[in-house]
Amino acid sequence: MHIHILGICGTFMGGIALLARAMGHEVSGSDANVYPPMSTQLEEAGIRLQEGYEARHLQPAPDRVVVGNAMSRGNEAVEYMLDQGLAYTSGPQWLAEHVIQDRWVLAVAGTHGKTSTASLLAWILDFAGLSPGFLIGGVPSNFGVSARLGETPFFVVEADEYDTAFFDKRSKFVHYRPRTLVLNNLEFDHADIFDDLVMIQRQFHHLVRTVPGSGLIVAPESDHAMNQVLEMGCWTPQERFSTSGTGARWRVVDVAPGGGRFELLCCNQSMGTVSWELSGTHNIQNALAAVAAARHAGVPPKVSVEALSGFRSVKRRMELKGEVMGVRVYDDFAHHPTAIETTLAGLREKMPEARIIAILEPRSNTMRMGFHGQKLAASLAIADQVYIFTPPGLAWSAGDQFNLLGERAAVYDDIGEIVRRVTGNAQSGDQVLVMSNGGFGGIHQRLLDGLETAGTAGKL
C-alpha cells in the first residue's frame, strides 16, 4: 500500500511514517518545513520527502492520504485530495486502527514533560527486556528514532491534547484507549484551539473515560487542575507521585543539588538511588511517573531505577549542541512559560555560578498570539541575559512585554544580530540556552561557528 503523509516532518506524523515504513508500506510525504532531526531520520529510512503542498505530490493517487493536524482547508494538496475523492484519514486514527489495536498502550499526557516521560518509559521497558513499540514527539537518544513497531504487545505513545485534524476536532489522545495512562500536569495551552482551561479539562476527562477499570492512571499528588479532571469521574485505580509531599505512593528523598542524584521510594520503601545526567525537579517528576507506569506493565521498580541511570536525554530537550572555549550551547524545545522556567531552574541548580544566556523564539501559536503576556518574561528571570527574536507576524510588542527584565533583555528581529551579540560578549563558562519549537534559522550552529571565530581571534 502506498501511503502519502501531509505534514510528514512534524514529530508525530514523522513517527507515523516510520511505523508505516516498518510495516512494509511505500511511504512518501509533503511538508513546508523540512529540517532535522525529523527530516534526517525519514531520509535514512528511505522515505521520499517533497517540499510544499502541491497537487502533483498526490499524482498518481496514493492508496491512502494521512493528514496532519497542521493541514487546513484552502491548502492546495487538501483541496485536490477532497476534489478527487481520495481515501484519507488522520494520523491518530491510522495509528489506532493499524498499529495499537489489541496492544497494551501506555500513554503519557499532560501540558509538560510528555516527550521526556514517554522516552523514559520506553527506555525502562526496553531495558527490562520488554522491547516495546513507541511513538514519541521527539527523538530519544537511547533509541535514535522517534518511533518503532516493537516486538511485544507493549506500546508507548506520547498522548497530545492538540486537535486531530481539520475534519476531526477531538484531541489526538482520545483515539489511543490506553491501559496505562500517565497524566503529568495540566495548564492552559494551545490558545489557538482552546478558549480556556475548562475546555482542555473536558478533553482530558474524555481520555480518562477510555481507560479500563483493570488499567492504571498515574497522576501528580497536588496538581489542582488535574485533580479537577479526575473529580469529574474516574473508574480506574490511581497511583500518585510527588517530589515534595510525604503522602504519595511514589516520591523521592535525598535529592542532590541540581537533581543529578536522588533516592526513589515506593510506599515509603527505598527502591534504590538514581544517578543520571538529567537535572531539575521536573525531570525527577517525569522519572517517578515513568517508574510507576512501568511497574504496571510488570517492571520491578528496582529494575527501573537501574534503567534510569543509563537514560540519555531526548534531542531538543536541554540537548548540548556543542562547546567552544568553555561556552556551552544547548537546544531546548520551549513552548510554555512553565517549561521555560523549570528548564532554567534546573540549569541554575546544576551550574549555580555560571552565567546563563537565554535566547527565545516565541514560535508556538499560543506564544505568537500573546496569550502568556508578562508570564513569558517572568519565566526568563533566572537567566543573566535574555535575547528575544521577534518573528514576522507577532501579535504583540516584545519590547513592551520584556521591559520587566530591564537591561538584561534585548529584542531583535534579525537572527544574525543575536548571534553577533552573543558571540561578541561570550565568556568561558557561559551556558547559552536556545529555546524554540522550530529550527530557529540554524542558530545553534551559527552560534558555535561564531564562538570558534571569536576564539581563534583571541576574543573569547
Q: How many domains does the chain have?
A: 3
Give the CATH number of the domain where residue 56 resides: 3.40.50.720
Q: Of 45, 73, 91, which residue is a domain's last? A: 91
Give the CATH number of the domain where residue 274 resides: 3.40.1190.10
Considering the domain boundaries, does residue 49 fall inside one?
A: yes
Report the amino acid identity of residue 138.
Answer: G
Query: What's the CA gap between 450 and 447, in Å, rounded?
Result: 5
Give the CATH number of the domain where residue 390 resides: 3.90.190.20
Residues 436 and 388 placed together within one structural domain of the fold: yes
Is residue 238 within 8 Å of 226, Cβ to Cβ?
no
Residues 351 and 411 placed together within one structural domain of the fold: yes
Q: Of 262, 288, 308, which residue is a domain's last? A: 308
Residues 137 and 43 placed together within one structural domain of the fold: no
Considering the domain boundaries, does residue 267 fall inside one?
A: yes
Report the amino acid identity of residue 79.
Answer: E
pLDDT tens per residue, the chain (460 residues)? 999 999 998 889 999 999 999 999 999 999 997 766 677 778 888 899 999 999 999 999 999 999 999 999 999 999 999 999 999 999 999 999 999 999 999 999 998 889 999 999 999 999 999 999 999 988 888 998 889 999 999 999 999 998 999 999 999 999 999 999 999 999 877 767 787 899 999 999 999 999 999 999 999 998 999 999 999 999 999 999 999 878 899 999 999 888 889 999 999 999 999 999 888 888 999 999 999 999 999 999 999 999 999 988 766 677 888 889 899 998 887 767 877 887 888 888 888 888 999 998 877 655 655 555 567 778 888 899 989 888 776 665 666 677 777 888 888 888 889 999 999 888 899 999 998 876 787 898 999 988 888 766 566 6
Residues 368 and 284 placed together within one structural domain of the fold: no
* Closest C-alpha among 400, 455, 453 to residue 427: 455
Q: Which three cell numbers stand for residue 222?
A: 497536588
Grid cell 511514589 is found at 250
Residues 303 and 194 placed together within one structural domain of the fold: yes
Considering the domain boundaries, does residue 180 fall inside one?
A: yes
Residues 419 and 300 placed together within one structural domain of the fold: no
Residues 59 and 6 placed together within one structural domain of the fold: yes
Q: Please report the DSSP string for 298-360 in residue order.
A: T--HHHHHHHHTT--PBTTSSEEEEEETTEEEEEE---SHHHHHHHHHHHHHHSTTSPEEEEE
Query: What's the CA gap between 343 and 354, in Å, rounded?
Result: 15
Residues 395 and 323 placed together within one structural domain of the fold: yes
Helix pair 114-127, 281-296: axis angle to 10 deg? 50
Considering the domain boundaries, does residue 313 fall inside one?
A: no
As a three-state string, the secondary structure of 325-341 is: CCEEEEEECCCCHHHHH
The greatest distance separating any two alpha carbons of the chain, rounded to the nearest whole angstrom, comes to 66
Q: Bridge partners of 148?
A: 134
So what's the pLDDT on residue 219? 97
Considering the domain boundaries, does residue 384 fall inside one?
A: yes
Q: Is 199 left (phi over 0), alpha (psi -120 to 50) or beta?
A: alpha
* Closest C-alpha among 119, 62, 67 to residue 93: 67
* Closest C-alpha among 111, 225, 132, 9 to residue 120: 132
* Closest C-alpha among 103, 201, 116, 200 to residue 158: 116
So what's the pLDDT on residue 362? 79
Q: For residue 69, how many other CB atoms are within 10 A of its CB?
A: 22
Query: What's the CA gap between 438 and 333, in Å, rounded?
Result: 8
Considering the domain boundaries, does residue 314 fall inside one?
A: no
Query: What's the CA gap between 52 and 139, in Å, rounded?
Result: 24
Q: Is 405 left (phi over 0), alpha (psi -120 to 50) or beta?
A: alpha
Structural domain range at position 241:
100-308
Helix pair 224-231, 197-209: axis angle to 10 deg? 50
The Cα-based distances of 378 to 157, 336, 368, 405, 459 in angstroms read 32, 12, 17, 8, 32
DSSP state of 140: B
Helix, strand, or coil here: 43?
Answer: helix
Residues 339 and 285 placed together within one structural domain of the fold: no
Task: Give 457: exposed, middle or buried? Use CB within 10 Å, 0-12, 13-18, 19+.
Answer: exposed
So what's the pLDDT on residue 106? 98
Residues 304 and 399 placed together within one structural domain of the fold: no
Considering the domain boundaries, does residue 146 fall inside one?
A: yes
So what's the pLDDT on residue 455? 66
Q: Of 91, 118, 143, which residue is a domain's last? A: 91
Residues 201 and 83 placed together within one structural domain of the fold: no
So what's the pLDDT on residue 94? 98
Q: What are phi and psi of 120, to 5 degrees?
A: -60, -45
So what's the pLDDT on residue 215? 98
Residues 296 and 170 placed together within one structural domain of the fold: yes
